[in-house]
Each structure stands twice: as structure tokens, then as C-alpha cells.
Amino acid sequence: MSAQGIKADDEKSSQLRSSGYVSRLEEYWYGISHPFYDLMIWFVFLPLGGEAACRRQFARWVDVQPEEKLLSLCCGTGDTEIALFNLVPTVQIIAVDLGAGQISTAKQKDKSGSIDFCVGNAAQTGLAANSFDRVLITLALHEMPYSLRLKVLREARRVCKPNGRVVAIEHAKLDGKLSQAVRYLWWFGWLPGNPEVATSRDLQQRGLATEMREAGLEALERYTTDPSWIEGVVSAPNS
């Protein structure tokens, strides 16, 4: 991207709406989508073995330990967080998302009542620095312009303990044209006005591990689903 392109992207993310969303369209979409959000997510996970299996896989990538504290940024309707709690019932989870509807749905799903789901801004949580053993960002960065992605990653680094881990799970860059085409079609890339197409492509071109490094994180491990449509990068704060 050119210097002008980066500047325009920075200006876009610096002009966030009071709700924390990038645009009125995005704000409107997430405001109305929560009733059918889970159905859409269920559909996109079908080629990967189903949502439940993928969420359990994501939880294993995070590798949270008993009694640890985990912060989930952009948690959506809470399925990964619930999978994490089912895997390690003594983990302490705080999960934030801008969408009030998504948070309401997440609370209804959490039969344990043990996960602290709350409306919050992932780029500026207001939580104490160095206070979480694990920080998780699941399938949200691809929705954001570059500079906003860095803000969220830097916030993740800020609240993570020096010996903790930040785990980002995202759309992976695919080499095969057939795989690219199938994922593009299955994940609604053809949908007119889909705001995620450009930002997801930009994230894949720059590289998730590269952006994490720019935010002060060192990539340690990388996992992928089968097929490798989704990657998980485990990182540690740079000293």
C-alpha cells in the first residue's frame, strides 16, 4: 500500500463513530444482525467440519491453563469463550464486543453464568495493563482497516502479562486459486457492498504475524484448520 493509502486508512480508523464502529453501515449491520448472526456463522463453518468442532479446535490453540485469566476481544455471541470454559472450567473469562445484541445472545448461551460478557471497545478496554494470562481475538481483525487492527493488537499486548500469550485467529492467506475462489464464494465475497472483502484481503496480504510483530508481539506458533481457511497465531509480548 502507498503512503497515501496508509494515511487514508489511518484517517478512516481515527474517525470512529461514538459507538466504536468504523462506519454507519457497519454500526447498522451489527445492530440488526444478531437475530440471524449465529445462523450465518454456522453456515460459514460447514466446510471446516462444523462450528462446534472448530470452536473446540480454537480453544485448544489458546491453551489456557486452570485458574488463568483470559480476555476475549470482539467475542461476538460467545461460542469460542463457552468452548474455552467447557475445556477449562476454572478459567476466568472477560469477553467484550461492541454489539449489545451479540453480548445479550452470548449471556443467554452461557448456562454456567461464569463468563463476564460485556459491551466494550476492543481498541480501548480500560482494563489494567499486564493483567491477563491470555488475550484472544477471534475472527474480528479482518473486519477492520489496518490502523484499527494495530490499535486492537496493541491493546491486546498492553493488557497481556509479560509472560502471557496473545492469540489471534483469522482468515489465512491461501495459495491455491481454487481454494481462494471456493472460500470467496462460500464466505459471501460476492455480496454487493460486503465491507469485509477489502479489509480481509489487506490483512492476508500484510500477514497476521507481521501485523502482530508491528504491535509489539512475537509470533511463536501457527495453527490452521483443515482445509487451511483459518489460521491461529500464538504470540508473546516483546520485552
Q: What is the pLDDT of residues 194-227, one digit of tens each?
A: 888 999 999 999 999 999 999 999 999 999 999 9
Beta bridge partners of 116: 94
Please tell me the distance from the alpha carbon of residue 160 to that of residue 37, in angstroms, as a whole number: 29
Q: What is the pLDDT of residue 191?
A: 86
Q: What is the pLDDT of residue 37?
A: 81
C-alpha cell, 3:
503512503
Q: What is the pLDDT of residue 4?
A: 35
The pairing of strands 160-171 and 217-224 is: unpaired
Beta bridge partners of 136: 72, 167
Which pLDDT band holds residue 192 (cuts at 50, 70, 90)?
Answer: confident
3-state secondary structure 5-65: HHHHHHHHHHCCCCCCCCCHHHHHHHHHCHHHHHHHHHHHHHHHCCHHHHHHHHHHHHCCC
Q: How far does CA 155 lie from the centroid of its chain?
A: 13
Please tell me the distance from the alpha carbon of residue 156 to that of residue 153, in angstroms, as a whole number: 5
Report DSSP letters for 120-163, one per residue: --TT---PPTT-EEEEEEES-GGGS-HHHHHHHHHHHHHHEEEE
- Once rounded to an integer, what is the mean pLDDT over residues 99-125? 95
Domain ranges of the chain: 3-237
- Once rounded to an integer, what is the mean pLDDT over residues 7-24? 50
Please say whether the beta carbons of 136 and 80 come within 8 A: yes
Q: What is the pLDDT of residue 121?
A: 96
- pTM (predicted TM-score): 0.87
- Once rounded to an integer, what is the mean pLDDT over residues 177-199? 92
pLDDT of 5 above 90? no
pLDDT tens digits for 84-96?
A: 999 999 999 999 9
Percent of the residues in the chain that have a pLDDT greater than 70, as a whole number: 85
Which pLDDT band holds residue 10 (cuts at 50, 70, 90)?
Answer: very low
pLDDT tens digits for 24-51?
A: 666 655 665 666 788 989 999 999 999 9
pLDDT of 117 above 70? yes
pLDDT tens digits for 156-168?
A: 999 999 999 999 9
Please say whether the beta carbons of 76 and 102 come within 8 A: yes
Please say whether the beta carbons of 22 and 13 come within 8 A: yes
- The verdict on domain 3-237 having CATH code 3.20.20.140 is no
Q: What is the pLDDT of residue 66?
A: 98
